[in-house]
Structures are given as C-alpha cells and as structure tokens.
Amino acid sequence: MEDGEPQQIFEEINNFRSNLAKDSKERCVDSKITDKKWQILKTLHKKYNDCARKPSKDFTKYEPHIAKLLDDCIKILKQRKESISKQETSEDDSVFLPATDNTSRQQGPPPCKQQP
C-alpha cells in the first residue's frame, strides 16, 4: 500500500477519531494533549488534501467518509478547546474579579473589631 492511499488515510483518521472518543476526562481537559491532537489532525488533513489532488476510484469511495470523520474530529477538538478555555478563564477570573456586588454597595470600609 502506498503512503497516502485513500483506504490507509481513512483508517488512520478513523483510528484517530476512535481514540478521541475513548479519551478520559482528564485527557479531554489537558491543553497540552489537546494541542498535540490538533497537530496530529492537521497532519492527517494534509494527507487527505494530498490524496485529493490525485483522485482515484478509491478516493471517490472513501472521500465522504473521510470528510465526515475529519469534521467529527474538528468538532470534538473545538469543544475541548472551548471547555479548556472556559475552565482556565473561570480559574483566572476568581483571582482578578472584584468581590460580589454586595460589597460594592457598601459604603466605606468594612467595620473592624476593636482590639481591647
């Protein structure tokens, strides 16, 4: 089998998609792992595009399946990126955001206990 044959590319992308689905929750929210997965997906997408430049009967047969798998992978990784950024934002916000609205309505400094 030549490198870049439609069937091989389909199998690689299908395996990648299966592995994404099997990832543990910890792996789903790990930004380094997600970034690596994006790189792998880009490589697979490049192989797909290279294959598309020299169409064959096999390519025509596998193309819709490959396109769907790539689309699924992109959706999954986008969702992970969004949940990672939301998680990082919510952690960061707690440090930088002022206290709740109740404190901003109070006038003057909070009352202090007098030391005897």
Determine contact, residues 69/10, Cβ cutoff 8 Å.
Answer: yes
Residue ranges of the domains in the chain? 5-9+31-93
- pLDDT-derived band of residue 114, with 50, 70 and 90 as boundaries? low
**CA dihedral of 67, 69, 73, 74, whole degrees rounded to 10:** 20
Query: Which tens digits make up the pLDDT trace of 45-91?
Result: 999 999 889 878 888 999 999 999 999 999 999 999 999 888 877 76
Scan for tokens 């192989």, then name that residue. Answer: 47
Determine contact, residues 28/37, Cβ cutoff 8 Å.
Answer: no
The pTM score is: 0.70
Q: Where on the phi/psi map is residue 4: left (φ > 0), alpha (ψ -120 to 50), or beta? A: left
